[in-house]
Amino acid sequence: MQRSDISSVVDREFSRETLQLDAAVAVRAITQGISNQVLRRLRRRGAVIGLSGGIDSSVTAALCAAALGPQNVMAVLMPEKDSDPDSLRLGRLVAETYGIGHVVEDIAPTLSAAGCYLRRDGAIRELFPDFGSDWSCKVVLSNVLHGNRYSLTKLVVETPAGERREARMPIGVYQAVVAATNMKQRIRKQLEYYHADRLNYAVAGTPNRLEYDQGFFVKNGDGAADFKPIAHLYKSQVYQLAEELGIPAEIRQRPPTTDTWSMAQTQEEFYFALPYEQMDLCLYGLEHALTAEAVAQATGLTEEQVTLVWQDIEAKRKATRYLHEPPLLIDEDEADRSFGQVA
């Protein structure tokens, strides 16, 4: 059978069912992988994980508990003043469900001392001079399906009285706000490594395939880890494992959120063009060279919309490629050429 014939067969068979897993088999394979990586390759006694009350960290925690034993897993819950109170409650629920030891580290004082909130609020006041510390805010990215050829961001703020305002963000303001906010992920990771060093444990990362592929993480923040056991799984597959592992229904039904901003914010608002079920199928179609027509039929989108999503995926991959780069070294040839050179 020729390549074009194979592609047409795959196109005809492509649907939401394509991403269905044998969840029990996947759990066994991943837990065996975690055990081998942590105990043999990394030579650590257990795992530390930052629990957010979201689906990805909950599944990762359950997998680590199954692989290493709950007595060898430590969960770190790290609220701050912008966190949804449900995150702490649900994180505790996961730890208790799987018998995992946990500690609560309030990172708000550390963030305040580092100037996270002051720096962020100072940048926001370039757009809203009366922005107060008791206001709430979030950043929203333009959706490529709305006809925007370029990513545009807007800042949304809300007064204590509930008045909502928004404005398009100049690049300098956007970068300043995000730079300050990224402190949250980096402080959390610092604490995870503190507990890992203290216990001789490895740090578990929690990105799924969508996040890992498109750079939806902070370098040296939530992107840092010793192993990432679900980075090969599409988001919808993470939910399949969640059901198999018995993740509490409240967490499985909770909409994915960044839990970074003081205003409620979905991941589609901040980063992804579509809900995860459609994003998964679009990413799969792009990775497996399916036609836009086949992906459109599976997702309920138009072919034009599928093409726009693929362009957005490629643009995000290009823009965030540096996040995957290790520290760069000067290679030997470059170093050799410098010998004997006069400054």
Q: What is the pLDDT of residue 141?
A: 84
Three state DSSP letters for the chain: CCHHHHHHHHHHHCCHHHHCCCHHHHHHHHHHHHHHHHHHHCCCCCEEEECCCCHHHHHHHHHHHHHHCHHHEEEEECCCCCCCHHHHHHHHHHHHHCCCEEEECCCHHHHHHHCHHHHHHHHHCCCCCCCCCCCEEEEEECCHHHCCCCCCEEEEEECCCCCEEEEECCHHHHHHHHHHHHHHHHHHHHHHHHHHHHHCCEEECCCCHHHHHCCCCCCCCCCCCCECCCCCCCHHHHHHHHHHHCCCHHHHCCCCECCCCCCCCEHHHHCCCCCHHHHHHHHHHHHCCCCHHHHHHHHCCCHHHHHHHHHHHHHHHHHCHHHHCCCCCCCHHHHHHHCCCCC
Stated pTM of the model? 0.91
Residue 329 CB neighbour total at 10 angstroms: 8
Q: What is the pLDDT of residue 3?
A: 39
Q: What is the pLDDT of residue 6?
A: 43
- CA distances (Å), origin 151, targets 124, 162, 163, 271, 311: 19, 28, 26, 10, 12
Q: What is the pLDDT of residue 305?
A: 93
Q: Tell me how far apart the alpha carbons of residues 189 and 203 are, in angstroms, rounded to a whole number.
A: 9
Q: What is the pLDDT of residue 148?
A: 57
- Structure-derived torsion over alpha carbons of residues 277, 281, 282, 283, reported in degrees to the nearest 10: 100
Per-residue pLDDT of the chain in tens (343 residues, 90 and over written 9): 343 444 454 566 899 999 999 999 999 999 999 999 999 999 999 999 999 999 999 999 999 999 999 999 999 999 999 999 999 999 999 999 999 999 999 999 999 999 999 999 999 999 999 999 999 999 988 777 765 555 678 999 999 999 999 999 999 999 999 999 999 999 999 999 999 999 999 999 999 999 999 999 999 999 999 999 999 999 999 999 999 999 999 999 998 877 889 888 777 777 887 889 999 999 999 999 999 999 999 999 999 999 999 999 999 999 999 999 999 998 876 666 666 565 5
CB 225 within 8 A of CB 39: no
